């Protein structure tokens, strides 16, 4: 019986069946004539696309190398998970949270997509983040206090990230937060079954427990504290106030009392309010927020009484105490319709989130646009008039004769967010409900004010975290009187060979300033290495992908909830990786732009010019060396380098 042909290309093939390399003129030329170039192997570090795609700037390649066991902890007895955690928090202090909710643009950019399937980056991040919480890891000790005081306005991911990185640099930080608890959109914009509150409290607590970090909750800047007060009392200010206002539907009738925004809905839900007596809800959106709104509505159900939860939720129990409120309410199922301008398969929400929502009973309708909120004589919305549409770029085009009405008791607009710049913050606005910044995140027209996160441009939580990290660095430069004019082209936390050598006690010796020819034997030079991480991203075509065999990706398990059982179910859905799964995904990483010690260059060098660095002198990126007296410049080592780390240049 003939087996069906495989539907998936299992691995990259450089040659087709029947071809021979000796009849391939280009390869023959490389082997026999390339020595005329006088070029020898050089080692070029570039940023992999996963890192360049990560808005927080994670050193993803670095902590995957730790997971695979190639990069060993620098301290005897340190677990690899702790070393990976310390590497992660160099860019992002929330690995457990982001490993759960980030839509993972890093995985979309992963070069392994060209071989079989992306590396499960999010799964490894969650595993390490959860391990760190279970083992009660703290953040690295920050520098001694510098005497400089920074005000961080907003205790969400951007503000907390900035607080951590500013404190690392020695500055004291005061966080001002209007809510009673820190977390921002991680707490008030995402339901607890996606960001468990005990996990969130643990990651936030690492930052707030640092000496030199002060928190003032229940304090709204502009109302309780003026901008003038901040200018008087602090050396710099970082604005991370988020986008706390939802955009209403741009149609007639949107002022109905039961027509609310997704931001309002999720905030009230996460504050512990039972929202409404609505049995039929329409959510207009198409992004992740709209999915959260519809899924939460299905879990809450219809309530016959509305009460505010009148006892403070205990730490770690907010998910069931404030969200479910089962002991106080009688509920029936709610019908939730989610509409999108784009067809369902083109919705901006992650495919996994769409499928979960559909499984849980949310009715997804794509390619439709709202026309009018239908109200009764009392001004209450009773339906949403819609029609089918096509998209011309980002502008919907109605299709005549396709109008219809969805009857409902509540309409929730989840079509976007904007910053709330009222009550004393008007001077920060750019006229479009956002804060205008320059290329180094400084607020335009305000010398010592900086901003980031959704207040600048609503985007991902991890984007806000990245803004906080970058702004902390520019604020540190500003306080030192050396504020740069622009940031690096690839603005991520990339590999630093000198730091790697330092932690291995392999620092170069001081340069004696004596002129000599060649540096191949010099101890003061990092020979034959160039760091292009700030300027170049390595594409898949620069890798020898034929080295990599098909290896199936480890996917995290999920606890699926069907429509019949979703009511009142606020338990977490994602099942985290085991250690074995995390290690396997580390091994699948192709280490784009960095040596991963495969020995190909040593094995295939016809002149035995390439050899391993002595074991006592090895470090990440310093595994092989070249004898330029033997090298003839044949280029074979560069051809067979799976990671693209070797390029040909003037070696001596």
Instruction: Find, among 424, 97, 435, 394, the residue nearest to 243 by Cα.
Output: 435
Residue 487 lies in a domain: no
- Whether residue 121 contacts residue 84, with contact meaning beta carbons closer than 8 Å, is answered with no
* Burial call 402-429: b when 16+ CB within 10 Å, e when fewer: eeeebebbbbbbbbbbbbbbeebbeebe
Cα 508 from Cα 644, distance rounded (Å): 25
Count the neighbouring beta carbons within 10 Å of the beta carbon of residue 495: 21
Cα 453 from Cα 262, distance rounded (Å): 19
Residue 543's domain comprises 21-54+496-511+518-649
For residue 72, CA distances in Å to 37, 99, 126, 613, 623 come to 37, 23, 20, 16, 13
Residue 86 lies in a domain: no
Mean pLDDT of the 481-501 span: 88
User: Between vectors from CA 348 to CA 160 and to CA 7, what angle results, nearest 5°?
Assistant: 120
- Whether residue 386 contacts residue 324, with contact meaning beta carbons closer than 8 Å, is answered with no
pLDDT of residue 246: 82
- Domain of 442: which CATH number? 3.50.50.60
- Is pLDDT of 331 > 50? no
- Strand, coil or helix: what is 204? helix
Q: How confident is the model at residue 36 (pLDDT cuts 50, 70, 90)?
A: low
- Whether residue 455 contacts residue 422, with contact meaning beta carbons closer than 8 Å, is answered with no
| 361 and 213 part of one domain | no
| 266 and 350 part of one domain | yes
- Is pLDDT of 24 > 50? yes
pLDDT of residue 307: 30
| 258 and 361 part of one domain | yes
Residue 5 lies in a domain: no
Mean pLDDT of the 118-143 span: 96
Three-class DSSP labels, 422-470: CCCCHHHECCCCCECECCCCEECCCCCEEECHHHCCCCCHHHHHHHHHH
Instruction: Find, among 438, 380, 433, the residue nearest to 411 by Cα.
Output: 380
pTM over 0.75: yes
Cα 42 from Cα 168, distance rounded (Å): 35
pLDDT of residue 13: 57
Instruction: Find, among 491, 587, 386, 346, the residue nearest to 54 by Cα.
Output: 491
pLDDT of residue 601: 94
| 554 and 580 part of one domain | yes
Cα 384 from Cα 374, distance rounded (Å): 6
The top-scoring range by mean pLDDT among 20-24, 261-265, 565-569 is: 261-265
Residue 553 lies in a domain: yes
- Is pLDDT of 247 > 90? no
Residue 438 lies in a domain: yes
Residue 15 lies in a domain: no
Mean pLDDT of the 421-448 span: 82
Among 416, 446, 471, the domain boundary falls at 416
Residue 298 lies in a domain: yes
Among 416, 437, 452, the domain boundary falls at 416
pLDDT of residue 297: 55
Cα 472 from Cα 164, distance rounded (Å): 9
Q: What is the mean pLDDT of the chain?
A: 84
| 285 and 401 part of one domain | yes
- Is pLDDT of 299 > 60? no
| 340 and 240 part of one domain | no
| 235 and 254 part of one domain | no
User: Between vectors from CA 117 to CA 113 and to CA 121, what angle results, nearest 5°?
Assistant: 95
pLDDT for 550-600, tens place per residue? 999 999 988 877 767 666 667 788 899 999 999 999 999 999 999 999 999
pLDDT of residue 29: 60
pLDDT of residue 320: 22
pLDDT of residue 306: 33
pLDDT of residue 286: 81
- The values of phi and psi at residue 387, to 5°, are -150, 165
| 370 and 425 part of one domain | no
Three-class DSSP labels, 233-302: HCCEEEECCCCCEECCCCCCCCCCCCEEEHHHHHHHHHHCECCCCCCEEEEEECCHHHHHHHHHHHHHCE
- Whether residue 591 contacts residue 59, with contact meaning beta carbons closer than 8 Å, is answered with no
pLDDT of residue 473: 95
Instruction: Find, among 416, 425, 427, 440, the residue nearest to 154 by Cα.
Output: 425
Cα 131 from Cα 202, distance rounded (Å): 12
Mean pLDDT of the 595-609 span: 93
Residue 606 lies in a domain: yes
Count H helices and E strands in the chain, helices first: 20, 25
| 407 and 375 part of one domain | yes
Among 416, 433, 449, the domain boundary falls at 416
| 160 and 239 part of one domain | yes
Cα 64 from Cα 55, distance rounded (Å): 18
Of 114-118, 345-349, 381-385, the range with the lowest mean pLDDT is 345-349
pLDDT of residue 323: 25
| 185 and 308 part of one domain | no
Tokens representing residue 236 in the block: 């710099």
**Residue, of 86 and 332, whose pLDDT is higher:** 86
Domain count, the chain: 3
| 527 and 615 part of one domain | yes
């Amino acid at each position: 019986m003939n087996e069906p042909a495989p539907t998936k290309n299992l691995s990259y093939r450089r040659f087709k069946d029947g071809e021979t390399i000796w009849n391939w003129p280009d390869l023959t030329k490389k082997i026999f004539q390339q020595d005329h170039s006088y070029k020898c192997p050089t080692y070029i570090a570039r940023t992999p696309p996963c890192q360049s795609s990560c808005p927080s700037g994670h050193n993803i390649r670095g902590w995957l190398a730790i997971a695979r066991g190639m990069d060993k902890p620098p301290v005897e007895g340190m677990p690899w998970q702790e070393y990976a955690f310390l590497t992660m928090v160099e860019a992002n202090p929330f690995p457990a949270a982001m490993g759960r909710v980030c839509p993972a643009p890093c995985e979309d950019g992963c070069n392994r997509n060209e071989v079989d399937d992306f590396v499960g980056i999010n799964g490894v991040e969650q595993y390490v983040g959860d391990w760190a919480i279970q083992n009660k890891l703290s953040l690295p000790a920050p520098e001694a206090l510098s005497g400089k005081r920074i005000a961080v306005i907003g205790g969400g991911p951007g503000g907390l990230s900035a607080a951590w990185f500013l404190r690392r640099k020695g500055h004291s930080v005061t966080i001002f937060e209007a809510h009673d608890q820190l977390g921002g959109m991680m707490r008030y914009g995402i339901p607890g079954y996606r960001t468990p509150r005990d996990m969130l409290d643990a990651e936030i607590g690492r930052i707030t427990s640092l000496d030199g970090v002060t928190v003032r909750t229940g304090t709204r800047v502009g109302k309780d504290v003026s901008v003038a007060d901040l200018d008087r009392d602090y050396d710099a200010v970082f604005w991370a106030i988020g986008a706390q206002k939802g955009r209403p539907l741009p149609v007639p009738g949107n002022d109905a009392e039961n027509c609310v925004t997704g931001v309002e809905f999720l905030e009230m839900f996460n504050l512990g309010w039972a929202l409404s007596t609505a049995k039929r809800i329409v959510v207009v959106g198409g992004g992740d927020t709209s999915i959260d709104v519809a899924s939460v509505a299905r879990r809450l159900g219809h309530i016959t009484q509305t009460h505010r939860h009148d006892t403070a939720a205990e730490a770690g129990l907010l998910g069931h105490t404030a969200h479910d409120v089962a002991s106080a309410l009688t509920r029936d199922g709610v019908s939730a319709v989610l509409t999108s301008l784009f067809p369902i398969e083109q919705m901006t929400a992650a495919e996994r989130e769409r499928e979960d929502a559909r499984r849980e009973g949310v009715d997804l309708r794509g390619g439709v646009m709202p026309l009018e909120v239908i109200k009764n004589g009392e001004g209450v919305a009773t339906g949403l008039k819609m029609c089918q549409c096509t998209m011309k770029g980002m502008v919907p085009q109605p299709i005549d004769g396709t109008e219809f009405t969805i009857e409902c008791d509540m309409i929730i607009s989840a079509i976007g967010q904007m910053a709330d710049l009222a009550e004393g913050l008007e001077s920060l606005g750019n006229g479009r409900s956002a804060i205008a910044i320059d290329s180094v995140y400084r607020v335009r027209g305000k010398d010592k004010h900086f901003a980031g996160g959704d207040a600048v441009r609503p985007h991902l939580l991890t984007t806000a975290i990245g803004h906080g990290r970058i702004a902390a660095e520019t604020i540190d430069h500003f306080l030192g009187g050396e504020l740069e004019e622009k940031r690096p082209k690839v603005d991520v936390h990339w590999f630093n060979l000198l730091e790697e050598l330092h932690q291995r006690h392999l620092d170069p010796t001081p340069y004696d300033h004596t002129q000599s020819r060649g540096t191949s034997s010099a101890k003061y030079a990092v020979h034959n290495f160039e760091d292009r991480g700030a300027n170049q991203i390595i594409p898949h075509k620069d890798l020898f992908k034929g080295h990599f065999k098909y290896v199936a990706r480890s996917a995290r398990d999920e606890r699926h909830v069907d429509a019949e059982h979703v009511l009142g179910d606020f338990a977490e859905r994602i099942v985290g990786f085991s250690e074995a799964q995390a290690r396997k995904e580390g091994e699948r990483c192709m280490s784009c732009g960095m040596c991963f010690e495969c020995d190909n260059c040593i094995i295939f060098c016809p002149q035995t010019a390439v050899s391993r660095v002595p074991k006592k002198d090895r470090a990440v990126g310093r595994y092989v060396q070249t004898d330029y007296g033997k090298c003839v410049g044949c280029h074979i080592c560069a051809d067979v380098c799976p990671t693209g780390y070797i390029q040909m240049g003037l070696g001596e």
